[in-house]
Structure formats: C-alpha cells, structure tokens
C-alpha cells in the first residue's frame, strides 16, 4: 500500500524540483511544481517505461548509475537524483554545500595509467584533468569533480590499477 | 580446394558476422572463447566452441599457438581472423599456412609489406600514387628528425611505422614540441605494437578520411567496391561511416578506385583489403595506408553494392575466382553505419561494461543490426567497447539519414551506457545532413551535447519518480506475487 | 497538400511499419489501441496513442466512428488503414473523406468496384485480360447454379463474391456435392462478410498463386513492381512469399505487369494495390482478383526493387506524383518472407497466445524483421496470430534461401509456440529449393514434419533434464541470492 | 545443495529413458542409457540454454506447455515429460495405461464453434475430429486424444465459448 500522495525531491542538473505522486499502476498523477500530469505508465521491460501523457506516447529508459538515476528519452539524456522527501531531509541536514569538500578519485575499472596531470599541492578547479587511464583499449580522462588541492597521488604513469584502487585524493 | 570448416579467431560481432557467412555457405564454424566469453554470442552461434585461456588477449585471442592447435584439433581447414587481434599479423598467417590451414586473408608477404606504413608509402610512390608529404623511412636521431621536419613544414604528425587505430600518433605544431612528441610517440608505439619506429607526415587540417574497398582473387583480378567516408571520429576512432561519400563524385571515385587497385596489385594482394586516403578541400587525394583485413565498416559497402564481402573472402580463400568483374559492381542508394559502443559519451567516452539487462534493437525496413550482444549478456571489461554496428540503407543519403535517426530512436540498451544519444545528435546535425564532414566534426559539436536539456525534461522526471515510487511501494507490499507477476518481479531488480 | 500527422487505424507489425515510415518522412504518427493492446509495440512507437474500446474488433479496430473521431481530435490530417480490418472498406474511406481526412489508399469507388469479385472479373473480361472460367455474376437458385456448373465443369469452386482471405470458399467435385457446398459457402460468407452472394469458378489443381504489385498516382500514372510468388499456403493462408517468382521469366513478368496495370487503370485505381493471378503449368495466367490495399508481403517487393512502398503510399496520398517511372523499377537479387505466427504447427496450427518470455530475433546481413512483438509482450487472444515477418535478401534465390535458413535458426521465441520449426523445414525442402512450388506444397510435406526426430534427440533430453535438475536443485537452495543473481532468478519462472 | 546424482524418467514420443545427472552449474555429467555426456550448460536467457558437448555448441529452447516440456533444437522440436524418478513411481503406481480412460475436451481459448463432427453415442478413435473452433481469426480442429465413446456434447454450432468451457466428454 503506497500512501495517497508521496513527495519526492528531484535534483536535475543544478535545479531541484519538488514532485508529488499519487495513484496506482498504471494510472498516476504527477505534480512537478505547477505542472500536473495524468500519466498512464507501464513497465514494458526491465528499465523500459511506456508513458502516455494525454495521448502523447513516450518511452523512457531508466537506470541506476552509481546512485544517480540516468534517464534516456528519445535522444536526450537526463541525470537525476530522486529521493523521497523525508530521506532527502535526513541526508542533507547539516551537510556542506554539494560538491565541495574532499574528494577521492577511484579507478572504476582495471586499466593502466597513461599519464598524470597533477602533483601533490596543485590547486585544481572543477573539470581539470587529473589523469588518463587506458581501459578496454581506450584512453579515458578523469577530471576533478570540484575545486580543491591535490593531497595525494597514489599511482605512477604505466602502472596497472584494479577497479576500486584509490588514485588521487583532493582536499 | 573446398573449405569445409572455419575456425574464427576472434570474438564479438565480427565473429558472429563470419559465423553467419559460414552457415550460409554450408561451412561449419568453430568459435574460440576466453574465460570471459563463454556466454558470448559467437559461442552460442557457432557449430563448435573451444576455450583458449584467460581473459587477457595475450593469453587467448592473441595466442597464435593455441589458436592453431584448436584449429587442427577441431578439424578446421581454414582460419578467419576477423579484424583487430591477429588480423594483420603476418606471423599468424604464416603459422596457419605452416599448419596446413587456409588463412582467410592476404599472403604473409603482403601483410608485411603493407604493415610497415613507410614501406607502403614507398610502394605508392613508385606507382606514382600521391602520398602525404613526409618521410618514406622511419626517422631517428634528433638532427635528422629536425631536418626532415623543416622540409615537411609544421604542423606535422609523428606516426608509428607499424601503427594503426590512432595509436602512436602525435601532432607537432612547432619545432619546440618535436623532441617531446617524438619520445611520447615512440613509447606509445613500442607499448602498443612492440616497435618504436616512427616517421613524419604533414598534418592536414580537418581532412576527409576516405577509404576504398578492394577485393582481389588469387588469379590476379583486383576490383574496387567504391569508397567509404569515415570522417566522423573521436580520438582517431571511427564512430559513423557511410558509402558512398557525399564528397566523392564519379570521376574522383574512379581515380581513387584505380589508385587503390594499383597499390593492391603491386603488393601482390589477395582477398579483401582497404586503401585509406586523405582528401583535401580541392579533392586532391593522398595515399595514407592499406589495411590488410576486413574493415569494421565493411557492411555499408555491402549494402550499396549487394556484394557479400565475407562470402567473397571465403570463396577467394578457397582459390575460386571473384564472382564479380569491375563492371558488375553497381552502387545503389546510400548506406550509413553507426557504432554502438558501451561507453558514456557524456563523461569522456568512459567504457561502460556490465550486464545488458534490457535490449531492444532497431529493426524493420532496410535496417541491419550486426551485434555481438543480447539481453542478459554481460559486456566484459577486457575487450573493446563495440557492442553493435547499426546500419541502414536508403534510396539516397537523405533517406538513409532519416532512417538512421528512426533506427537510433528505436534502439534501447539498458544496463550499460552507450553512444546512442550522441549518434542521434550527429545524424540530426545540419552539417552532417549537409555532408559537411571532417575529422574535426565531432570535437566541434561535442560541446553542444549536454545532458538535461529542456526538451523532454518533464518526461524524464516523471519516469524517474515513478520508478522510485514503485520501488518504495513494492517494498511495503508483502502479499506473495501471483504467477503472472513473476516476470515483472523478475525484472524489478533493474529498478534500483 | 502536405500530410503532417497520420492516424494508423491498425495494430501489430503493420501499424509499426507505417509508424516507421511516417517517422522517416517527418510525419507525426497517431496509434489507436483496444484495451488488449495498451502495451503493444505500435503504441510504444507512435508519437501519440489513444484508446478506442474493448478488445473485440467490432468495438475497436472496426469502429469507423471512433476512429474518425480520434483522428479529428488528435489533429491528424490523414488515415492509413494498413491491411485487414477496414483496409478494404469503402464506407471507411468515405467516412474519412467526409471528415476531411486523407485516406491513404484508393478512392472508395475503386474499392467498391474491385471488392465485388464478380465485378472485378467483368472489368478484366472487358479488357481482354484472361480470367478463370466461371460466372461473372453472383449465382442463386439451384437450377441456374447447376446449369452454370455444368458449363464450367467439375471440379469447381464456390466463392464468396465479397470474400477474401480464403473464407467462404468451397471445392465441389461433383454435382451431388453442389447444393450442400453452396449452402455452406453462403452461410460462411454471410457470417464473415455480411453478404452471402457467391459465384462459381473452375478449380485449378495445384496452381501457382502469383500476384503483381502495382502503384498508381492521382495523375494517372500506373506502374508495376514485379511479381510475388505466394504458393506456400495452409488453408488458403500464406506462410512463405518471395519475389521474383522462380517460375516467372522476363516475358511472363512483362505480360503479367501489363495486364495488372490495365486492370488498375480501368478501375480508376490510385495508391498501392495487388493484382492476383493463377498461373498454370503452361504459364497461362488467369486474373483472380485485385486487393485494394497494401499487402502483408509487400516487403519482399521492397527488398528487390529498393522502393519504399509505404513512403510512396504517403507521397501519392498527398497528391504527389510517383517518384518512379516503369523504367526506374529494376529488380536486384531475390527476397523471401516467412511469416512467424503464434501457432503450433504440430497440432493443427492451433493459436498460441500468451506472454513472450524470451525473444531473440534474427538479424545481421540482409535480414529484415518486421515485428509487432518484443520480449515481455503478451500476444492477445483476440487478433490474428502474425507476430513477425522475417525477410531476407540475397544476390540470387539460392543465396536468399540459405540466408533464410540461417535466420530461422537464429530466431528464438520462448513463451508461445510459433511456425518457425515448420518454416525451417519448408526452406530446407528440396522441392522448395528447386522452385517446385504450388498451393498444395505444404499439405504434401506436412505429414513428414513430425516432432521428436532422432537428429538432436539427445540434446533435447539433456536440456530438458538439466532444466528440471536446476529447478529441483534451487527449490532446496535456501541461501539468499546475491544481487548479481537476481536477473537469473528473475528468469527462473520460465523453467517450470 | 543437489544430491550427487539425480535420476530422471524421461518420456519422449513412445519411448522412455532413464537419465542420470550429477554436477553443479555450469558443469554437469548426464547419462542417457549408455551415452555419457560431459556438459557445459548455461542459461543465457529465460528458457534459452547454451550447451557445449565436447566442443559441439547447441542452443536449446526449453519451455513448459501444459505439463509437458517442449524443446526446440535448431529446427527440430521435441516434446518430453521429465520426472524425478521417485515422483514418476508415485504418479504411475497403479495407473491405467496412458491415454485410455475418460477424457474431457475443454476450450483452450475463447472462440466460436464452427462445426461439430460427433454426437452422443458415437464411437471415436484416437485422432478423430470432434469439432472445429474459430479463434484468433482461424479455424482449429480438435481431435480425440484416445479412443472412446462420446458421452456428452455441451455446445452447438455457432455458439461462442470461453476458455475453460467443457465442450465434449468422452467416456
């Protein structure tokens, strides 16, 4: 049994939306700020959702990527964070502004360090390249998620790394 | 001689492509698989399949001795190398020959002659085929290098003599960068190809990358099957290919084809090969290199010519004459290929291995999907990211582009991230539709490809919120599922 | 005028086919669905979709008023009827016209003239196009009937004047059977078409069923796109179709095409249509009827001519001239279609509705899958059994047949039974490969298609036993599944 | 935990085989009479099994159709009944020969009775046509599963029936 109306906090890009949902599969009412949608929504295959909104037909692929929700609609991609309101409040209470604070760059896959663009003590801005890893026969750049100062570089060029290895720590 | 059983020394979609061709010719197929590939599609589709070792290619798909042993043990009389891995490895071709196995590809000598880019440039030069200004021998020594560079002029490129696939390449814009770039290129080349030799070529700004498909039989006949335009690349890796090139007219096609056939003939080439050219704005073309294998993008040539290249490869390898004369090669309409890779184009093309939990491939009129994936397949982390080659044919380029846009919109992959969204933007881009292509195209438009654009924002929010709403709802739902719900519940795990 | 939005008054694969064509033309598509079809593929793929009532066709897909209302309400400016349902219903075409909607099909008058088979026979006769000996008016009254029958000679066929699709047809071998057969045909016809009128035709033993695709624009141009061979049928329902016919040479093709164009022109025909002929062993042909719609099997014609028939339908309906002259129609290679129906061919073709729990469609080089199904889709019980049309193209008929055999072997459907195993036997049959086709072919070979043949018996036993072994094993397995197992466990329900 | 070896009774066509299975996914040993197979067997999708038998690669579709197991291998179809041995013994103990005894013809889908070929009292042989139903726009014949005498005919031509309706009873 879901409650009559459930409130969600949706973070998309830099914006935050309050979204209310009520109803039962397949008929829902969804309120996004001032927009109200009557939705006929069906799960037609894993992660593939069919939505009818007053006649308009959409297929949306929804999947989880490391905690955030990635949605493809047609050729557009959206990355969102969806939280039931109370959970959102608990999580964010007394937290510092998103993005700031220390960050740790971890190798997502096994690979080989091709080159390293920073050294301890370097000041980095959000988006600065930290290092390049070769994996699956391709070179991949890894960038700083937010500004900070490089505290540690735990790898050297040419080194093989495993998924999960800590590569760079930014204070 | 007749070929009765072929071992396919490859994996993924190209292994599937070859297995299909074998089946259609009444030839038995033998697949090989690393420990990471037991459930790969090529294993499921082949008549026979044998393990060849651990996931790292060096211990499996590159292990010549193992491959030859399995081929002999399985009673295969031929080996098809596909592309990549050992496809352009003369030693492998020789090992097959020595073991009495037909190598479905060119003779080792031709592989060697053309594998060294400087040797290939020398062949072209002696034939009077224009080449990109540069050196015709590997260069070494700072002095000689600087002299050669001055002669060529800046900007120029440092390239690995034994290279390919965009590796071991460096652009040098001024003499000050030369030595450093050289060192880097050498080390990359040594790492990637086991040979650090490099040479210099003039750097052409945003040239068109156009390649010509050739097919030669062992009776001395060489024909060309028109060109492919492969200018849409990222980091020297092709993403979209088409045939014919919107830039090539009948006369340029004939000149390119004639030059390609002459290079192939001079190298004693047999079987399918591709001659690459750079073409500048004035339609001057320059020989770049010859790839001594079946190309990833061979399918677009097949769609416009109606000629089955893998079938011809097998026929030629069996010593038969080509089934076509040059005059029989008639191009009809236009074909485009998009490479669907398991990568996240929105974060630096980072590979996205993992299980494909949902897959709905495009199909319907004039849509061809050459795929190595299926729903439930786990994309391993050890190999390249190519999942499928989506191809379309249309009566003209405009029709083909509209069809590709339609097909990309149909193609759904869940569980791993893919290049589909970027491909959709590329084919929708006015410059692409206008045929304004160059190797710089993608870098130019990439900045405009951002996530979270307004268009379908509300739809995305609704879908994401409903998924979470259902997930929460079902947590509190304690009644046992009815049998008919099993399937849906089975799919629930995707809704995290 | 320009068509901007099309309502597709159909369901299943043909609705999907039309929606794809619309998307490729930049035309918005509007789907309609009965309560049984909310999750059907055409609803998922269209730009808009609206409910039109309960599952029974009479209350939804045949409800002219509802369809016209939805079309107007959605702002559509045209309606495509697909095939079946209202595709050959003149009243529907008129209702669309009256509502200011373009009907993507022939004018109502042409539908009427050709819908009455006896009227169509009269048109052919006046043009001097040979017809099967028989009556040119509906016959009634035992006396008149017997007289007409004697003149035609036995065996003969009683056919419904307003009929089609093999309904309301009876073979009469002697005068003693005549009255009884007549009564049955009348009642069947009355039930199926709301009109009991019947006529007589001579019965041809194992004739070839060959049809010619025609396309006419509103400017008076009529062209033909060659023939289709549709002789592989069961109970007058087609199962395998191909183009060109192995039996038709260039001269016969020209004579058939010319006759077909004349019939279409005489009937004031516009848009796509098909003229059916019977052809006897001596290559004599007889006009049978003209179908005033897009044919199920139109795809094989598209694959050999490279002409997109649905695109042309939309262009012609918009008042444009045909994009092709007769001379532009060039047939290349050979194409075959196999109909994958949700039926059990091993128990009298009994329908097999239900959920498709596993689906792996064939793909790859020159394979076309026009499907209305997807994994997880539930085939409803209310409509016909066609799931998908599997088509292949080959450089010649032999290549096409080998490719179809390969494609059928790849095509996996789990959850419902399909015609795939029988189709595989058909294309493997020596008579089929030799082009020895007739409407009696399938009945002749069916007895040889038995289950449980030795060839792969041990494999089947192993698979079945392992499935049961795993099922039992997992019953006693109490440890909670690891996340990565969810998917497999989710699929377990299939293993009952 | 499955036992070291499990015995199954397999009925295929008119034949019956005793089959022994041991091992754990993905490696099994299967003994069919005198044949012994080492099997690498994987479930690659629901009902779609990949089998490697000493190098030979097969894909088999396995599904349940009303209690019997239908397997497609290539273009061959097999209909089997698989039972763990003890269950088989329990089920078959003291049963009459398969196929004999009373049978009831039930409509598998909604449809319309087109014609009826038998009347109460008629003697029918296995395979005799009982009646024809139109469903999904097709006419389908239903035949006697074994010999017997028609006890009841509960429908008339033209009548609409629902799935599950009893149509004919044979004693």
One DSSP character per residue, D4-18 reads SEEEEEEEETTEEEE
Using alpha carbons, select from D81, D112, D108 the residue that is nearest to residue D164: D108
Whether B452 shows a pLDDT value over 80: the answer reads: no
Whether D99 shows a pLDDT value over 70: the answer reads: no
Whether B192 shows a pLDDT value over 80: the answer reads: no
Contact C136, C302 (CB under 8 A): no
Burial track D57-68 (b if 16+ CB lie within 10 A, e otherwise): bbbbbbbeeeee
Q: What is the pLDDT of residue D93?
A: 60
Q: What is the pLDDT of residue B484?
A: 32
Instruction: Place D45 in a pLDDT band, splitting at 50, 70 and 90.
Output: confident
Helices B90-98 + B108-115 axis angle, to 10: 170
Q: What is the pLDDT of residue D49?
A: 92
Q: What is the pLDDT of residue A162?
A: 77
Whether B163 shows a pLDDT value over 60: the answer reads: yes
Contact A57 C374 (CB under 8 A): no
pLDDT digits (tens, 9 = 90+) for A72-100: 887 788 889 999 888 777 766 644 334 44
Q: What is the pLDDT of residue A89?
A: 76
Q: What is the pLDDT of residue C459?
A: 92
According to the per-residue pLDDT averaged within each range, which of A136-140, B229-233, C50-54 is highest?
Answer: C50-54
**Cβ contacts of D63 on chain C, cutoff 8 Å:** 357, 414-415, 494
Chain centre to alpha carbon of residue C86: 14
> Higher model confidence: residue D141 or residue B153?
B153
> Higher model confidence: residue D131 or residue B447?
D131
Contact C199, C138 (CB under 8 A): yes
Instruction: Place B485 in a pLDDT band, splitting at 50, 70 and 90.
Output: very low
How much of chain B exceeds pLDDT 90, in percent? 74
> Higher model confidence: residue A16 or residue C476?
A16
β-pairing, C208-216 vs C222-234, is antiparallel
Going edge to edge, which strands form the sheet with C285-291? C285-291, C271-279, C208-216, C222-234, C237-243, C334-341, C386-394, C367-371
In this predicted structure, which of B55-59, B76-80, D52-56 has the lowest mean pLDDT? D52-56
Instruction: Place B165 in a pLDDT band, splitting at 50, 70 and 90.
Output: low
Q: What is the pLDDT of residue A126?
A: 81
**Cβ contacts of D49 on chain C, cutoff 8 Å:** 463, 466-467
Question: Which is the catalytic residue, given C112, C170, C293, C403?
Answer: C293
Instruction: Place B478 in a pLDDT band, splitting at 50, 70 and 90.
Output: very low
Whether C210 shows a pLDDT value over 80: the answer reads: yes
Segment C382-409 shows an average pLDDT of 97
Residue D145 structure tokens: 């599963």
Is the ipTM beyond the 0.90 threshold?
Answer: no
Contact B137, B118 (CB under 8 A): yes
Q: Tell me the residue ranges of DSSP E strands in B3-150.
A: 5-8, 28-33, 48-51, 78-80, 102-103
In this complex, which of C24, C361, C402 lies closest to B363 when CB atoms are compared? Answer: C361
> Higher model confidence: residue B451 or residue B16?
B16
**Interchain CB contacts (distance < 8 Å): A and B:** 187
Contact D12 C458 (CB under 8 A): no
Instruction: Place C356 in a pLDDT band, splitting at 50, 70 and 90.
Output: very high
Coil, strand or helix: which one is C330? coil
> Higher model confidence: residue B452 or residue C16?
C16
In this complex, which of D61, D73, D143 lies closest to C414 when CB atoms are compared? Answer: D61
pLDDT digits (tens, 9 = 90+) for D130-167: 888 887 766 777 888 778 889 889 888 888 887 777 88
Contact A55 C43 (CB under 8 A): no
pLDDT digits (tens, 9 = 90+) for A11-42: 998 889 999 999 988 999 999 988 899 999 99
Coil, strand or helix: which one is B261? helix
Q: What is the pLDDT of residue A100?
A: 46
Average pLDDT of chain C to the nearest whole number:
90
Q: D40 vs chain B: nearest CA distance in angstroms?
A: 10
Stated as kind and residue range, the H or E segment containing C391 is strand C386-394
Contact B415, B358 (CB under 8 A): yes
How much of chain C exceeds pLDDT 70, in percent? 94
Instruction: Place C368 in a pLDDT band, splitting at 50, 70 and 90.
Output: very high
Contact B460 A47 (CB under 8 A): no
In this predicted structure, which of B41-45, B192-196, B212-216, B257-261 has the lowest mean pLDDT? B192-196
In this complex, which of A26, A50, A56 lies closest to C48 when CB atoms are compared? Answer: A56
B332 classed as catalytic? no
Using alpha carbons, select from C215, C276, C210, C286 the residue that is nearest to residue C248: C210
According to the per-residue pLDDT averaged within each range, which of A16-25, C92-101, C345-354 is highest?
Answer: C92-101
Measured over all CA atoms, what is the biggest interatomic distance in chain B, rounded to whole angstroms? Answer: 81
C-alpha span between D41 and D27 (Å, rounded): 6
Question: Which is the catalytic residue, given B17, B121, B234, B293?
Answer: B293
C-alpha span between B42 and B332 (Å, rounded): 31
> How close are the terminal C-alpha atoms of chain B, in Å?
57
Q: What is the pLDDT of residue C226?
A: 98
Residue B144 structure tokens: 């000689």
Instruction: Place C451 in a pLDDT band, splitting at 50, 70 and 90.
Output: low
Whether C95 shows a pLDDT value over 70: the answer reads: yes
D-contacting chains (≥3 CB pairs under 8 Å): B, C
Instruction: Place B481 in a pLDDT band, splitting at 50, 70 and 90.
Output: very low
In this complex, which of C44, C48, C50 lies closest to A44 when CB atoms are compared? Answer: C44
Dihedrals phi, psi of C93, to nearest 5 degrees: -60, -40
Residue C54 structure tokens: 């309960």
Segment D13-23 shows an average pLDDT of 91
**Interchain CB contacts (distance < 8 Å): C and D:** 187
C-alpha span between B180 and A166 (Å, rounded): 29
> Higher model confidence: residue C229 or residue C476?
C229
Q: What is the pLDDT of residue B480?
A: 32
Average pLDDT of chain B to the nearest whole number:
90
Q: What is the pLDDT of residue A95?
A: 44
Q: What is the pLDDT of residue C435?
A: 92
Q: B435 vs chain A: nearest CA distance in angstroms?
A: 21
Segment B222-240 shows an average pLDDT of 91
C-alpha distances (whole Å) from B246 to each of B227, B250, C447 are 10, 11, 55
Stated as kind and residue range, the H or E segment containing C277 is strand C271-279
C-alpha distances (whole Å) from B82 to each of B103, B222, B365, B417 are 11, 21, 27, 26
In this predicted structure, which of B292-301, C68-77, C252-261, D98-107 has the lowest mean pLDDT? D98-107
Instruction: Place C165 in a pLDDT band, splitting at 50, 70 and 90.
Output: low
Stated as kind and residue range, the H or E segment containing C69 is helix C64-74
Whether D1 shows a pLDDT value over 60: the answer reads: no
Residue C330 structure tokens: 């060039």
C→A interface, C-beta within 8 Å: 31, 38-39, 43-50, 74, 374-377
> Higher model confidence: residue B25 or residue A107?
B25
């Amino acid at each position: 049994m879901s409650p009559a109306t459930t409130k969600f906090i949706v973070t998309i890009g830099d914006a935050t939306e309050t979204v209310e949902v009520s109803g039962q599969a397949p008929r829902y009412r969804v309120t996004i700020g001032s927009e109200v949608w009557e939705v006929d929504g069906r799960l037609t295959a894993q992660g593939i959702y069919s939505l009818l909104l007053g006649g308009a037909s959409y297929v949306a692929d929804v999947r989880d990527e490391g905690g955030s929700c990635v949605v493809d609609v047609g050729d557009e991609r959206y990355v969102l964070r969806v939280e039931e309101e109370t959970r959102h409040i608990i999580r964010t209470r007394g937290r510092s502004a998103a993005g700031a604070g220390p960050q740790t760059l971890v190798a997502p896959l096994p690979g080989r360090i091709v080159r390293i663009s920073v050294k301890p003590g370097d000041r980095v801005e959000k988006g600065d390249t930290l290092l390049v890893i070769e994996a699956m026969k391709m070179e991949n750049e890894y960038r700083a998620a937010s500004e900070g100062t490089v505290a540690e570089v735990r790898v050297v060029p040419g080194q093989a790394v495993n998924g999960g290895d800590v590569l760079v720590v930014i204070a | 001689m007749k070929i009765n059983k072929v071992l396919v020394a490859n994996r993924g979609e190209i292994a599937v492509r070859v297995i299909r061709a074998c089946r259609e010719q009444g030839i038995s197929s033998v697949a090989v698989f690393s420990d990471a590939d037991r459930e790969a599609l090529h294993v499921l589709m082949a008549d026979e399949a044998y393990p060849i070792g651990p996931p790292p290619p060096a211990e499996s798909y590159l292990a010549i001795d193992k491959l030859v042993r399995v081929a002999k043990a399985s009673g295969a009389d031929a080996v098809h190398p596909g592309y990549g891995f050992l496809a352009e490895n003369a030693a492998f071709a020789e090992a097959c020959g020595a073991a009495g196995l037909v190598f479905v590809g060119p003779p080792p000598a031709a592989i060697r002659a053309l594998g060294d880019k400087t040797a290939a440039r020398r062949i072209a030069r002696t034939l009077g085929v224009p080449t990109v200004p540069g050196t015709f021998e590997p260069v070494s020594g700072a002095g000689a290098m600087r002299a050669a560079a001055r002669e060529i002029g800046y900007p120029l490129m440092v390239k690995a003599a034994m290279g390919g696939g965009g590796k071991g390449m460096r652009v040098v814009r001024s003499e000050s960068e030369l030595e450093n770039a050289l060192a880097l290129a050498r080390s990359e080349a040594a790492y990637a190809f086991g040979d650090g030799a490099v040479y210099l070529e003039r750097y052409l700004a945003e040239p068109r990358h156009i390649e010509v498909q050739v097919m030669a039989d062992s009776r001395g006949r060489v024909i060309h099957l028109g060109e492919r335009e492969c200018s849409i690349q990222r980091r020297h890796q092709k993403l979209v290919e088409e045939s014919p090139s919107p830039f090539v007219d009948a006369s340029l096609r004939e000149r390119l084809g004639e030059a390609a056939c002459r290079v192939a003939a001079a190298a004693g080439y047999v079987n399918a090969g591709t001659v690459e050219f750079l073409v500048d704005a004035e339609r001057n073309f320059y020989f770049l290199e010859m790839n001594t294998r079946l190309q990833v993008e061979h399918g677009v040539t097949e769609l416009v010519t109606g000629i089955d290249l893998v079938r011809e490869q097998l026929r030629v390898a069996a010593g038969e004459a080509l089934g076509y004369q040059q005059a029989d090669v008639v191009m009809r309409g236009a074909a485009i290929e998009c490479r669907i890779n398991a990568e996240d184009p929105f974060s630096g093309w980072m590979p996205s291995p993992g299980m494909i939990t949902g897959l709905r491939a495009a199909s319907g009129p004039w849509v061809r999907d050459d795929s190595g994936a299926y729903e439930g397949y786990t994309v391993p982390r050890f190999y390249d990211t190519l999942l499928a080659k989506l191809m379309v044919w249309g009566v003209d380029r405009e029709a083909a582009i509209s069809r590709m846009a339609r097909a990309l919109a149909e193609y759904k992959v869940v569980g791993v991230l893919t290049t589909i969204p970027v491909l959709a933007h590329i084919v929708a881009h006015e410059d692409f539709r206008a045929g304004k292509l160059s190797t710089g195209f993608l870098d130019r438009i990439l900045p405009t490809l951002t996530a979270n654009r307004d268009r379908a924002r509300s739809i995305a929010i609704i879908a994401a919120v409903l998924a979470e709403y259902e997930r929460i709802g079902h947590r509190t739902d304690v009644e046992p599922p009815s049998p008919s719900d099993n399937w849906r519940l089975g799919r629930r795990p995707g809704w995290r």
